[in-house]
Amino acid sequence: MRHSPLFLTLCLCAITTLPASAQNFADPAPPKVEALATVPPPAPTTQPGLKFYHAPKPLAKNAITTDWRQFLGVTFNAISPETPLLTDVSKGKPTLLWEVMKGEGYATPAVIGERVVLFHRMGGEDVVECLQAETGKRYWKYTYPTAYEDRYGFSGGPRCQPVSDGEYIYTQSVEGKIHCLQLTTGRLLWKRDIVKDFQLKPNFFGVGSTPLLEGDILIVNVGAEKGPCVAGFHKRTGKMVWGAGAEWGASYASPIPATIHGKRRVFVFAGGESQPTSGGLLCIDPANGKVDFRYPWRARRYESVNASSPVIIGNQVYISECYGPGGVLLDILPDGTAKQIWTNRALNTHFMTAIYKEGYLYGIDGHGPRNAPFVCIEWKTGKEMWRIEPEWNETLKTADGERKLALSPGLASFLFLEGRCLILGNYGQLAWVDLNPKAYTELSRTSLFIADQTWSMPALSKGLLYVAQNSKGIDDSPTRLLCYDLRGTAK
């Protein structure tokens, strides 16, 4: 395989094994922790903007279900064990159970038990709402002011999914404000402003890396200029327990945990706005912040970020970006260092997370919305098996007749369920696809709505699919959160 001079430069300086001891960073502003008295949780009530249509089907007796507490779900790789599910949408969209008005933002909702946490922006306020999963009724709402303006004209709302340990909910806004709220009541336990605390410089699209809850630690890609790059905060106090790295800024990729050679580690693909440009992969011990190795990997182009979360299979990790070097597979060695297996530019993921299945990786190459084909590569070698850019065309009926729309999946999200892939496209289309290395095989497809910027990963829990419509629909439908019944019947 031939490599460009950029690849060779990266390879020469790629692996740096740091000292075994963690770096010593002081917490610049430990937050105040509130004393929360025991109070009964509020009952759910119908709020303005809620439309309820149907109750869901009962769960099958043999159903396997999970919460959606962290980014990419229970397995941290967009692969869910939920079953049975409705895996054929050829006869039309799944049953819409309820919908509720949603403001600005791209944050995926979290689902914890029978509660859904929606994080969005309404006017000059960031809003955290806790809703009943099957009805959309509201338990509580928490708000605080925001004045963020996106320099490129994109949404001014949050990008980060709320995460939860089952007792508290943690949110990080586009302005870097972290709030810890009691799940049952919405009361504030602690809060902190990482942009102010760590004197962060602006990033292209604000703060957008969803934090990770690992044990008692909330792990955040902070990206302070002189470190820490990554910080671990105690989930009950908000105080920084450790800091790690001083080379790179914050990215838009979320930290991913894994057990490597029997040891728990967290992989952070850092690197956002910087001049000169810098970024790459950090392998961190979540217990103390010790960095096992760092691997530089970011485009030299200024207008670029690392935004696609690492994919970890066994003792190997794959990272990818779409404006420069592309993808690389690393083998993590027992001594905590890493060895490069291969690099290529066949699957240059932007902010979607590629899906691994039986020795192959499937994802979207490029930043779209056009020229963003689906690609399959072999995990072991990086060999491209196939690529295709499907045309998901739609016919819209209007008062003036039929209007044909030439659409594509674009910046889609992939979810692997029941041995097949559920794809939510850039314009609100939903498709079931068979993932195999021989060819792209579409099984069934429908349109939930037609609206661009459908970039939020859908959340799936207990057979219910939560989809965020982030922009006004072609039929003038408003921005909203929709809950669909994807429950199947016993097999």
Which pLDDT score is estimated for 22? 58
DSSP E strand boundaries for 195-288: 212-214, 217-220, 230-234, 240-244, 256-260, 263-270, 280-284
d(CA 233, CA 240): 4
Ramachandran class of 147: left when φ > 0, alpha when ψ lies in -120 to 50, beta otherwise: alpha
Mean pLDDT throughout 180-202? 97
Secondary structure of residue 12 in the 3-state scheme: helix
For the segment 38-93, what is each residue's pLDDT rounded down to a tens digit?
999 999 999 999 999 999 999 999 999 999 999 999 999 999 999 999 999 999 99
Give the strand pairing for 95-101 and 338-344. Answer: unpaired
3-state secondary structure 246-269: CCCCCCCCCCEEEEECCEEEEEEE
Instruction: Evaluate whether 406 touches 419 at the Cβ level (below 8 Å).
Output: no
Q: Which residue has the higher pLDDT, 399 or 352?
A: 352
Whether residue 242 contacts residue 222, with contact meaning beta carbons closer than 8 Å, is answered with no
Q: Give residue-wise pLDDT tens across range 110-145.
A: 999 999 999 999 999 999 999 999 999 999 999 999
For the cut 90, the answer to whether the pLDDT of residue 18 exceeds it is: no
Q: What percent of the chain has pLDDT over 70?
A: 95
pLDDT band at 393 (very low <50, low <70, confident <90, very high): confident
Pairing state between β 413-417 and 79-80: parallel
Question: Cα separation of 365 and 77, whole Å?
Answer: 18
CA 345, CA 349: separation in Å to the nearest integer?
Answer: 10
Tell which residue, 294, 298, 336, has the closest CA to residue 315. 336
Residue entry with tokens 């490029």: 366
Asked if the model's pLDDT at residue 14 lies above 60, the reply is no
Tell me: the pLDDT tens digits for 258-312?
Answer: 999 999 999 999 999 999 999 999 999 999 999 999 999 999 999 899 999 999 9
